[in-house]
Chain A
Amino acid sequence: MGSVLALSSRPGHQNWPFSTDPPPSRWDRRDGRLPNPGSFHALHRSCKEVFPQQIEGVKMIVNKTLSSFFKVSHILHLSAVSPSYYRFHVEHLQSDDYSKDKDAPALIGEMDSTGSMNAHSLLHLTERVRARTVFQTQQSQFVTWQFETEYRGNDFTAAVTVANPDVLRESVILVAHFLQSVSSGLVLGGELVYHRGRAEEGGILTLAGQYSRPNWVATLNAGKGGAHASYYHRANKQIQVGVEFEASTRTQETTTSFGYQMELPEANMVFRGMINSRCIIGGVLEKRLSPLPATLIMGAFVNHRGDKLQVGLGINVG
C-alpha cells in the first residue's frame, strides 16, 4: 500500500521490518496436517528479497545492541539528489510467552532529522491473534495510521486492517485478507479493499494463489486493480533467482523484472543483480569485512532509457 518513508530494516530483510525466519516449511510436515500459510504480505517476499535495493549516495549505519531487548541504529545518509538526513532507529523486542519467533521486534521507532517519524508495533495478544499498528508522519503531518488484527488458525490466516480512519473527513480504508492452505504446496486466498471518502467509495477484490515446492515458489495476485506474478527459484546453495511481473490497470503499464542473488560465504560476499523491462539494470554488492564487524555495500543502477546513473556506497557497522 505504498509507505511514504521506507522503514530502515536489516540487510536480508529488505522490505519487512519484522523477522519471520524460519520461513514456513510446508514440505516438512509429516503428520498430515496442513501448515499455516503465513501472512498475506509475505506472499511475494521471497522473490522480492532477491532483487537489489536502489542505493544512492553514501549511507552509514551504526548498529548498537544495548541489551537483549533493545537495539539502536544511527543512520547517516549523504545524498546528491535528495536532502541528506540523519535517522535514529530503535527496536524493542517482546518478552511475551505468546510470541512464536522470540526475536521478532515488538516495537520499532524511527525519527528523522527533519522530524518525520515512523512507528510500528506488533503485539501478540494471544497465541493466535496478533495486532499491528503503524504510524507515519512527514514532519508534523500524519500520513499513515493503520491498525491490523490477524488471526492465525491451524491452516488459515485471516486479517483485517483499518487504514487512515478519519472521522472528520469521513474517510477510511478497510482491507480484509484471507489465506487458506488447500494442500501441502498450494495456498489460496484473497484480499478485499474497501475505501471510502467523502465523495466516493469503492471496493477492489484480488485473488491470490501460491504454489511452493522445496526449491521454488510461484505466486499470483490477480484482480481488477491489476496482476502481480512472481516466481522464486533456489538453484543451489549459492544462487537464487526471481522473476516478477506486475501489471496495473490504473497506470496502464506492465513491468517484468529478473533478479538474481549470488552468495559467496567463503568470500563473505553477497551480490544481487537485476534487469528490468524499463531498461533498468542494477547491481548491489555487499561484503563483510571480516575482522571488523562492518559490511561494505556498493551499488549502481543504470536507466538506459533516460541515460541516468545512480551510484551508492554504504557501510554498516555493528
Chain B
Amino acid sequence: MGGENVQCWCVCVYLMYVENGQMGSVLAAASPSPDPQSAAAGGGMAVSGLMSVPPGFTMPPVSSVPPSADAGSALPNPGTYEECHRKCKEVFPLQMEGVRLVVNKGLSNHFQVSHTVTLSTVGDSGYRFGATYVGTKQTGPAESFPVMVGDMDNTGSLNAQVIHQLSTAVRSKVAIQTQQQKFVNWQCDVEFRGQNFTSAVTFGNPDVVVGSGIVVSHYLQSITPALALGGELVYHRRPGEEGTVTSLLGRYTGENYVATLTVGGAGAHATYYHKANDQLQVGVEFEASSRMQETLTSLGYQLDVPKANLIFKGTVDSNWVVGATLEKKLPPLPLTLALGAFLNHKKNKFQCGFGVTIG
C-alpha cells in the first residue's frame, strides 16, 4: 500500500518536470508553454521544442534531428525521447483565460528579454520577467551554446535552465524551479547522441540529506530509417521506500505522418500526427492512466493561413471539451493577437481569454 503510494507520487513528479504541461505541472499551469511558432526576434531566436521550456518563453532554436545521415546505409539519429510525442501535442490549442500582454525585446543577438503581464479571472494576476541568453559557441547554423533561460514572477517564483553542449555528442542541462522561496524542482541531465541512438540520464530532486531522489534514464534507437524504438527507466527513492517504473516507446515516421506509442507501468500514451497539406495538420491522441483509471481521446487540428497571417487551432475531446485558439499577426506592427475559448459541455463551464504579444 505504501509502496504504491510512493510509486504514484514519483510517477506524478516525474511526469511533471519531464513533459512540460502534460497532466498538470506545478508552475507551468499558471501560463502555457510558448507557442513554438511564435515570432522570432533578433538573431533568429525561435522555439523548436527540444527542451522543456519554462512558461512564457521563446527558446533559441535547438534542432531535434541533425541533417539527414549520408545516403543509404547509416541510420539517422532518432532525436530525443521527450520529443517523440511533441509534434502531435503542438497541434493542440492551449487553454487561455483572462488577458495577457507580452512584450518581447531583443537586446542583442545573444540576449532577449520578455515582460509578461497577466490579468486572470480565476487565478492571480501577476507580472513576469524573463531573460534568455545564448552563448557564443556555435555548433550549427542556428544553434549556439550555452543557452541560459530564466524567468521570475512578481511573487518571487523562479524558473531557470542552463543548457550547454559539452562536446559534439554530449549535451547537458540544469533546471531549477522555485515556488516563492521554496525549491520545488532541481534537476540535471546529460544526453549523449550517437550515430543512430540517443541516450540520456536525468537526476531529479537529488537530496543527499534526506536520501531521496529520482533517476530517469532514456534510450532511443533507430531500427530502420522510419522506425525508432526505445525505453525509459525511472528509479525513485525516498527514505524507507524505493521503486522503479519502466516504459517502452515506439515511433514510426512516414512521409507525412508520425505515429508514436508509449506503454508502461503508468499507462499507455499513443499519438498520431498527420500533415495533410501545407495548411492543415491533424493530431489524434489517446492517453490511458492506470493510476487515475481513466482514458482520454483528443482530436486536434491546426490550420495555417499565411496569407491572412492566421493560425487557428481547434480541439475536441472525449471529456466533452471543445476548444479553439486563433492567432493573428497584425502587420505592419509587430503585434500578434491571440483569442481563445474552451467549453466543457459536461460540466457546463466556459473559459475565454485573449492576449497581445508585442515584438
Q: Which residues of A contact B (CB under 8 A)?
A: 57-58, 78-80, 84, 298, 300, 302, 307-313
Contacts and interface: CB of A to CB of B under 8 A. Distances in A.
B121 A311 contact: yes
A198 to B, nearest CB: 41
A195 B97 CA distance: 46
B217 to A, nearest CB: 44
21 contacts: A57-B350, A58-B341, A58-B350, A78-B341, A79-B350, A80-B349, A80-B351, A84-B348, A84-B350, A302-B119, A309-B99, A309-B119, A309-B120, A309-B121, A311-B97, A311-B99, A311-B119, A311-B352, A311-B353, A311-B354, A313-B339
B125 interface: yes
A313 B343 contact: no
Contacts of A58: 341, 350, 352
> 4 closest A-B pairs (Cβ-Cβ)?
A80-B350, A309-B121, A78-B350, A309-B119
Given A78-B343, A80-B121, A311 B350 contact: no
A308 B123 CA distance: 10
Nearest to B340: A313
Given A79-B350, A308-B121, A312-B352, 8 more contacts: A58-B350, A58-B352, A78-B341, A80-B349, A80-B350, A298-B354, A309-B99, A310-B121
Nearest to B337: A298
B105 to A, nearest CB: 24
Interface string B287-315: 00000000000000000000000000000
A313 B353 CA distance: 8
A100 B270 CA distance: 68
A312 B99 CA distance: 10
Contacts of B359: none
B119 A80 contact: no
A80 B352 contact: yes
A78 B324 CA distance: 14
A302 B98 CA distance: 11
Contacts of A312: 352
Contacts, number: 44
Contacts of A307: 125
A282 to B, nearest CB: 12
Contacts of A308: 121
Interface residues of B, number: 17
A300 B99 contact: yes
A312 B354 CA distance: 9
A78 B349 CA distance: 9
Contact of A309 (B125, B341, B348, B349): B125
A16 B236 CA distance: 67
Contacts of B125: 307, 309
Interface in B118-138: 119-121, 125
Contacts of A302: 119
A298 B355 CA distance: 11
Nearest to B339: A313
B344 to A, nearest CB: 11
A131 B319 CA distance: 53
Contact of A313 (B119, B120, B121, B354): B354
B337 to A, nearest CB: 9
Contacts of A313: 339, 341, 352, 354
B350 A309 contact: no
Interface in B85-101: 97-99
Nearest to A79: B350
Contacts of A79: 350
B352 A309 contact: no
Nearest to B353: A311
Contacts of A78: 341, 343, 350, 352
A302 B352 CA distance: 16
A309 B348 CA distance: 20
A81 B121 CA distance: 10
